[in-house]
Chains A and B, each alone.
Chain A
Amino acid sequence: MVTGVSRDAGARCARRLAADPSIETVIGVDVVPPRAELGRVRFVRADIRNPVIAKVIAGEDVDTVVHTGVVATPGSAGGRSSMKEINVIGTMQLLAACQKAPGLRKLVVKSSTTVYGAGPRDPAMFTEEMAPRAIHQTGLSKDAVEVEGYVRGFARRRPDVTVSTLRMANWIGPQTDSPITRYFELPVVPTVLGYDARLQFLHESDGVEAIHHATVEDLPGTFNLAGDGILVLSQAIRRLGRPVVRLPSFTASSTAAVVRRARLADFSPDQITFLTYGRVVDTTRMRTEFGFEPRYTTAEAFDDFRAALGPGAVTTASRLLTAGLGAVRG
């Protein structure tokens, strides 16, 4: 059973699992029917915030639950309070239902590296054991921390269930629509003056493969998943060839409000701190214990995303200029 299939990431995971012949049936669960074609996936309209979900798990004799239903964008969920409802209450209900399901063998949770927060006191790289140094009171990172807390509680109460928590870096790729891709799609990209965040990305196809890997193998534990290497924010924007406007940090929240009102992108305060300080995770355990090798590095994933985006204004201008130089040089 896969939760959150009406959204793109969930739908792709469900399709990938359905494409694997060793998995008998794949049930997709969400409140709204998915827009994307799901193929072999059987869609069940159910709300994970409602105890009905327990009946679905029992009735369909589900042995593996893949929870991708954590929402990162308040806009798509219909506001921040509704997002929190889906993320936290939804997870609680789902886990309560799982606890009552005797046939359940495995739980895979798609979490995020936002659980580590972002701040000036962060170590260069987070390993899975490290606690966040900066505590966020808002947004996805707080939800993710709470979701992981409930997942740990569930793992304690049901030691017979294999629980894999996948802390994934920001997904990026041609099809991903997230706050971070919207941010890079802005015609002029605002950044925080005097700071340059270190970023790590996971290509969307690697993310889907990782979920599949965790579903078919028995890999209990928490794992950081990210592409190799990093990009610095200014470097990423230069690769996009988009103009940058560097704004002092105290204007960041008002800029975010303007951008939000213009319906261009949606920033929460924790995203602003992420784009200020950045965050890098250690992926040693992904290789040694999880046994997964992402096909794209951070830079390759970003370039794949860029290729789908079209050139920015600076690229166009510099192309004209270099074309001119090329012409006169013969």
Chain B
Amino acid sequence: MADADVIPIGSGGRPGRGSARRTTPSAAARSLAGKNYQRPEPDPQSEPDDLVDGPTAEQPAVDELPDFAGFEQVVRDMFGDAGERKVAEWLAFLRRRLTGQYEVDEFGYDAELTDQVLLSGLRPLAEKWFRVEVRGIENIPDTGSALIVANHSGTMPLDGLITQLVVADHANRPLRTLAADLVFRTPFVGELARKGGATLACNDDAERLLREGNLVGVWPEGFKGLGKPFSERYKLQRFGRGGFVSAAMRTGVPIVPCSIVGAEEIYPLVGNIASLARLLGVPYIPVTPFFPLLGPLGLIPLPSKWLIEFGEPIRTDEFPEGAADDPMLVFNVTDQVRETIQQTLYALLMQRRSVFF
């Protein structure tokens, strides 16, 4: 980068730059490349860098189109050798996306898109805005499946997304989430949710994911937890019908309780436009101190400080055969999980110095 002061963009009347016959970079371009440019002789067959996966690799040369050597130069000068590799990887990624040559599993989970695009977009929000602090990550098994059960809050299901990111970053495993059917009915949201690894919260899908050895995340409070008023913050709602416990019991996977502190304060829900919600077929239309008062600005979440703690796994493989069909036992385990999360929430709230720091 230090060697090149001039970036060749125009041809400047020299032969080579922009001339139709040329298929190699001009002498001027090569001299400008400095020590980073290490091609011994101009050989039209050999590639100067490892862009072999790039879009140009398999295409024959057609020499009526303009010269892009300058662009290569810019890339090399701006990013150096490592940057060049990065750009090459990025181009290869782009090429795979544009030609559809990527893998999607049966649930519609697009691992590449999730890792490269969706989670990277979320990372600044988690690290800079919410300053998420993670505890007990060792309770998530390195291999095999587990069911992560967490409290749900914050009007918008941001806690689900952040938990997914935290598990991906700290435990290096993808978290497959279970979402309500409303998510899949909503345009764009449903599409992204499926690509991000979510699937419908039903026993069939949960058990299928668990049997395949995945980490599955579930928020059994659902909309009751998400849309509860601010005055009821950190009070756990009913944990669904305990379907998650029977799914874990049938597959014999451990349940990891997860307590999330901070998500309650991102959109303090003070009201609900019930009539409009009924009209639109959604569970609630939130009213927060800033929404809809400030319009789109009110959609910015408040920068609360987040604490996420993963608790000791609760084993379900020691129950006798058919335990999943014993409603009393399922309710008891459900209550045990709920109580664990509630106690951890209180403990974390005691430790938290303030909402925002």
Contact = CB atoms under 8 A, between A and B. Distances in A.
Contact of B191 (A195, A237, A321, A328): A195
Contact of B106 (A195, A230, A329): A230
Contacts of B102: 235
Interface stretch (A116-124, A170-178, A216-224): A116-124
A205 to B, nearest CB: 23
A327 B62 contact: yes
Interface string B98-142: 111111111110100000000000000000000000000000000
B101 A239 contact: yes
B27 to A, nearest CB: 13
A249 B68 contact: no
Interface in A291-330: 318-330
Given A194-B188, A323-B59, A323-B61, A328 B69 contact: yes
B60 interface: yes
B56 interface: yes
A322 B53 CA distance: 12
A177 B66 CA distance: 43
Contacts of B186: 194
Nearest to B110: A232
Contact of A328 (B68, B99, B103, B194): B68
A8 interface: no
Contacts of B100: 231, 234-239
A327 to B, nearest CB: 4
B98 to A, nearest CB: 6
The residue among B65, B105, B208 with the most chain A CB atoms within 10 A of its own CB is B65
A330 B61 contact: yes
Interface in B15-48: 22-25, 42, 44, 47-48
A123 B62 contact: no
A192 B191 CA distance: 11
A196 B205 CA distance: 19
A31 interface: no
Interface in B205-221: 205, 208
Contacts of A195: 187, 190-191
A326 B181 contact: no
Contact of B104 (A130, A193, A198, A249): A198
B61 to A, nearest CB: 4
B168 interface: no
A247 to B, nearest CB: 11
Contact of B184 (A277, A321, A327): A277
Contacts of A329: 25, 47-48, 56, 68-69, 72
Interface in B50-103: 55-56, 59-69, 72, 97-103
A234 B110 CA distance: 12
A125 interface: yes
Contacts of B69: 328-329
Contacts of B190: 120, 194-195
B195 A325 contact: no
A280 interface: yes
B55 A322 contact: yes
Interface stretch (B196-204, B284-292, B298-306): B196-204
A200 B60 CA distance: 34
B104 A232 contact: yes
B185 interface: yes
A74 interface: no
A130 B99 CA distance: 35
B300 to A, nearest CB: 23
16 contacts: A120-B182, A123-B199, A124-B107, A125-B107, A125-B208, A192-B187, A195-B191, A196-B195, A232-B108, A324-B64, A326-B61, A326-B62, A327-B62, A327-B63, A329-B25, A330-B61
Closest CB pairs A-B (n = 3): A194-B187, A324-B65, A238-B100
Given A124-B106, A325-B59, A329-B56, 20 more contacts: A121-B200, A123-B200, A124-B108, A193-B187, A194-B188, A194-B189, A198-B104, A198-B194, A229-B103, A230-B105, A232-B104, A232-B195, A234-B100, A241-B99, A322-B56, A327-B62, A328-B23, A329-B72, A330-B25, A330-B42
